[in-house]
Structure 1
Amino acid sequence: MLNRYCFTLLICLTAFLANAQETIDWKLLSKVKFRTDYIEDLGAYYMKPKFSKEVEAYQGKEVILSGYFIPFNEQKMFFILSRYPLSSCYFCGAAGPESVVELQLKPEAVRRFRMDEQLTFKGKLTLNVNDIDHCNYILKNAEPYEP
């Protein structure tokens, strides 16, 4: 009877851990190097990321990340979670592209957030190397998270 109980507990614990999300931080996301590539079609240079193995380990996993909310373009549903407030972020300050994460919110998670509101989101982390219309880090199916 005890063996059956232990086996059931082990199965439940394994299933829980397999679906659990992990909290990541900006220090982890800064473990990326950039190479400048010229894009002929645009006639411009683009900073192409090379993610560390440590960062690549989170590709496609559900993660939790805290930062400053920036509604970059509300009409196009383009939202950013930044390591820094707007005045110091990648788009307006001197921070690098590794300091912002694009939030692709679940439809039911869309609501009015305040600029520079400190929030925590959970979602599936996607590493973007080639699509210049999106950030290098994307949090898909994102929603606010409160522990």
Structure 2
Amino acid sequence: MKNRLFFLLLMLFSIRAMAQVDLTWKDLANISYTEKYFAAYDSNFLYPRFSDEISNLEGKEVSISGYFLDMDPNGQLFILSKNPLASCFFCGNGGPETAVELQFKTRPDFKTDDIVLITGKLKLNKDDVEHFNYILTDCSGFRIK
């Protein structure tokens, strides 16, 4: 009987350890920036310094909810935003930490400003100014509203 109980407890802890982590926008806001010069653009960009808590989640499956933004008419750039399109990062409401680049396996069936829950593997981007600081790869998701 003790062996069965031990095995059951071990299974429960193992399942919990493999589950995705639920992120909030407050979690992503725990970031600092310094300016860094990028010769390819002959310009300074904000270079992120991620918190230890976020750095420890890199490569792990996470979930976060927000506003879906389809930013490219060809369907190549999808963003999850803390705010709807009319008040998103690109409109000056918030910094880069209020938007996450989404990379789906297949094109999602969401419309701009749908409120969605997205799950994917967290990638932290420090050096590629062509992409967002936070990227979710292998994304899946569903509409909340």
Q: TM-score, normalised by structure 1?
A: 0.90
Does the Cα contact within 8 Å between 1:122 and 1:145 map onto a contact in 2? no
Instruction: Name the counterpart of 1:133.
Output: 130
CA distance in 2, matches of 1:68, 1:98: 14
Does the Cα contact within 8 Å between 1:86 and 1:93 map onto a contact in 2? no
Does the Cα contact within 8 Å between 2:110 and 2:143 map onto a contact in 1? no
Q: What's the offset of the Cα at 1:61?
A: 1.3
Picking from 103, 111, 114, the partner of 2:111 is 114
Q: TM-score, normalised by structure 2?
A: 0.91
Q: Aligned AA for 2:115?
A: Q
The answer to whether structure 1 residue 64 and structure 2 residue 46 are counterparts is no
Q: What's the offset of the Cα at 1:106?
A: 2.2
Does the Cα contact within 8 Å between 1:87 and 1:93 map onto a contact in 2? no
Task: Encode CA deviations 1:47-79: one digit per residue, 9 max, x unaligned.
Answer: 110011122122111111000000011525210
Q: What's the offset of the Cα at 1:28?
A: 0.6
* 1:143 alignment partner, SS class: strand
The answer to whether structure 1 residue 4 and structure 2 residue 3 are counterparts is yes
Task: Encode CA deviations 1:95-128: one digit per residue, 9 max, x unaligned.
Answer: 1000000001122xx2331111111101111111
Q: What's the offset of the Cα at 1:35?
A: 0.8
In the alignment, structure 2 segments of 5+ residues that lack a partner are none
* 2:93 alignment partner, SS class: coil
In the alignment, structure 1 segments of 5+ residues that lack a partner are none
Q: Aligned AA for 2:63?
A: I
Q: What's the offset of the Cα at 1:38?
A: 1.6
Match runs of 1:43-122 below 5 Å:
43-75=42-74, 77-107=76-106, 110-122=107-119
Instruction: Name the counterpart of 2:37.
Output: 38
Q: How many residues align?
A: 144
The answer to whether structure 1 residue 26 and structure 2 residue 25 are counterparts is yes
CA distance in 2, matches of 1:99, 1:146: 19
Task: Encode CA deviations 1:73-98: one digit per residue, 9 max, x unaligned.
Answer: 15252100000111111112331000
CA RMSD in angstroms comes to 1.7
Does the Cα contact within 8 Å between 1:86 and 1:116 map onto a contact in 2? yes
